Structures are given as C-alpha cells and as structure tokens.
Structure 1
Amino acid sequence: MVSPQVTNMVLILGLMQLSKKVPFDNPDVLFGVRCLYIASNVLIFGLYLYVQSVINKKKDLTTLKYVEPAPLGSGEEPKPVTTTVQEYDRTQLRNQFKAQLMGIGMMVVMHLWFKYKNPLLIQSIIPVKSALESNLVKIHVFGKPATGNLARPWKSAQGFLGMTSGEIKTDKASVENAERNYRGGVKED
C-alpha cells in the first residue's frame, strides 16, 4: 500500500497543475472555489463531531498505560501516562480539531491578506483526504479493529525533516520504569 505522504505529494502536485488552469480572475469561479473550501471544512467538522459522538457512546473505559517520550531537546525524562481509551481518543480528536482550525487560520491569512487563490483549491481536498485517513475515523467510522497500526497509543507523526521526539513505549517494563523514575518536572538543587 502506498503511504499517505506519497499520495498527498502526488495529489498536491496534480492540484497545483490544475489550479494553474483555473480562471480565478472570474468572480464566479473564485466564489465557487471559496464555497468548495467552506464545504470541505464543514464536512470535516461534521465528520469529527460524528466521531466524537461515537466515542462518547462507546464509553470505552479500558485502561491504557504508555510512556510518552520527552520533547526533543528538552532534557526531560519520558513521562508515564495512564488514561482510558475514551479519554485518549478524545485527546486525539481535540488535537485534530485544533490542527484543522490552525489550517483554516493560515488559509484565511494567505487568501484574504496575501491574496493567494490557488491554495484554496488544494486545501479543499487534502484535509478531507487526511481526515478520512486518520486513525480515529478508521476505527470509529469505518469500524476497523484497533489492532496492528491502529492499536493505541498511535505513533506520533514525524515532524520537520522526519525528526520525532521518540517512540511511545507500551511494554510493562518501560511503563513501570518510567513510573518509578518520573518526577513530574521537579528539578534537583
């Protein structure tokens, strides 16, 4: 299976070529693309609200323990986390809502302030694709079992230049070690 990053890149390049042929100078075309952008964001928020209702309806209170890696370059110790599947999914969904709002904010600045029109078309499609490919949607909408790559906790997305802050550990020894050694940010004198 092709990775989502590769398909996103191919899709972006194709949409960039398509957007060069779109006559954005025509007010009707520009209005249509703006409507497409708004409709795609409404669709995403509707999807996320549906996922939220499914999470709340399931009330999966299974305990989930893992070790969250320290932020890259912080010098902190890995942090033990004990939560429920329901709360973990809510947190992940909250992060997706925030990411979507940040994308909208950036698009508003780019379009209204800097007068870019081409990204409207691209950002009408890529976020919908990403939302449909998210682990929460796969589990709660498409009904896929939470095993393998969908087993919680999910691997954190790679950051800039493929760097991550570390791997999330779920084995019993790592969790117990982190619980024993974690001081909650208290510094020694």
Structure 2
Amino acid sequence: MNPAVQNMVISLGVMQIARKISFEDPDILLYTRIGYVTVQVIVLGLYYFVSMAIKSKNDQTVLKYVDAPNAMTQEPGQLVTTTVRDYDLSETSKLLRSVYMGIAMMGFLHGYMGYTQPLFVQAIMGLKGVYEAVPIKVHLLGQKAEGDLKRPWKAAGGMFGAAGGPQTDNAAITEAEKRVGGSKKDE
C-alpha cells in the first residue's frame, strides 16, 4: 500500500479510537500527555543514537546521484556528490526536523487551541514514522543497504504515487556532469 494512503488510513482509524476516549477525564488527559511526550523522547533518542552510529562508522564512500528536479520549474535535477556518512546524516537531520515540526504543531494545537485528540494520534504516528525510517532500518536494525534501502533513498510517494526520486543511473549522472562542466566553461 502507498505510504501516504497507509498514513491516512491509520490516522483515520486512530482518530476513530480517539473519539471513544474521554479526554475530559483529567487522568486520561494526563496519561495521553505522558504518552505523547514519552513517544517523542523515544523518537528523538533513537534518531540521536542513529546519528552517533553513522558518525562512528564514518563511511567515506563517495555517493553520486542526480537530485529529483523541482516540479515547479523546468530545470533538471542537480548533480550531488557526497559521502555515505554525510548523506545519511542529512537524511537523519530531515527526520529530526519533521519531529520538531510535529512537536511545534502539537504545542500550538494542544497548548493554544486546546485540542487533545491530536496528541493521541501523533503518538501513534510517531511510532509508525520510526518504524518506517530508512536510517533506523539501516543503522539500528542492521538491514543491508540493498534494494529499497539502497542509497540514495527514494522519497515516499505522494497520495497518487507520484514520487520523483533521485536518479542514480550512469546516463543521468554523466548528463548532469556535462551540464555542470558546460556552465563552468561558459563563465
């Protein structure tokens, strides 16, 4: 199943469960808050641990790929040359930023607006996000970086499966190198 559709189905299912919970009860509200904070601390801790594992491995293997082109412009994707260590750290950093954005959103929704159901939903979705995170699979669970886990990692597809991931084929890399080389000569 498409990850975006799967997230929506799980969110709707968890929201149906959350409707049956009486969040007006102070004890239930307290446990929901504790559960949300606990999940976020676990998620942040796991991402920190993965960052430390990446840094300790210090894999300096060169990784070349053509980044996915921006859908808003007609420009082709840019050539990216990095190391496995730097790539994995940047991907883990993106995951951390998404957690921080979720925490900020929950701070607004719960702290300012007073909504409690999103705390319950986001606690479950936070665990699902960790389960699906590729750096966790590769560095924490020890799965080989092959197949779907091969670098550069494909972005999760949108609602209709239209995910333009990075290109790793030699033709695309050579074309991007020519563009980069050509622009240097023109200057």
* TM-score normalised by structure 2 residue count: 0.89
Q: Could you tell me how far apart the structure 2 residues matched to 1:31 and 1:88 are?
A: 39
Q: Could you tell me how far apart the structure 1 residues matched to 2:95 and 2:183 are?
A: 27
Q: What stretches of structure 1 of length at least 5 have no aligned partner? A: none
Partner of 1:122: 121
Percentage identity across paired residues of the two chains: 38
**TM-fit CA distance, 1:29:** 1.2
Q: How does 1:165-176 map to 2 (within 5 A)?
A: 166-176=164-174
**TM-fit CA distance, 1:5:** 4.2
Greater CA drift, 130-139 or 69-78: 69-78
**TM-fit CA distance, 1:4:** 4.3
Q: Could you tell me how far apart the structure 1 residues matched to 2:106 and 2:159 are?
A: 20
1:54-73 deviations in whole A, cap 9, x for unaligned?
Answer: 10111111110000122112
1:85-133 deviations in whole A, cap 9, x for unaligned?
Answer: 0000000001000011011111111112221111110101111111122
Partner of 2:175: 177
Equivalent residue letter for 1:43: I
Q: What stretches of structure 2 of length at least 5 have no aligned partner? A: none
Greater CA drift, 106-115 or 53-62: 106-115
Equivalent residue letter for 2:166: I
SS of the residue corresponding to residue 91 of structure 2 reads helix
Query: Is 1:158 aligned to residue 157 of structure 2?
Result: yes
* TM-score normalised by structure 1 residue count: 0.89
Q: Could you tell me how far apart the structure 2 residues matched to 1:57 and 1:15 are?
A: 38
Q: Could you tell me how far apart the structure 2 residues matched to 1:120 and 1:176 are?
A: 48
Question: In 2 relative to 1, CA 106–42 (structure 1 residues): closer, same or farther, beyond 3 Å?
Answer: same
Q: Could you tell me how far apart the structure 2 residues matched to 1:18 and 1:79 are?
A: 45
What's the RMSD between the two structures over aligned residues?
2.2
Report if the CA contact (8 A) 1:63-1:84 is conserved. Answer: yes
Report if the CA contact (8 A) 2:3-2:156 is conserved. Answer: no
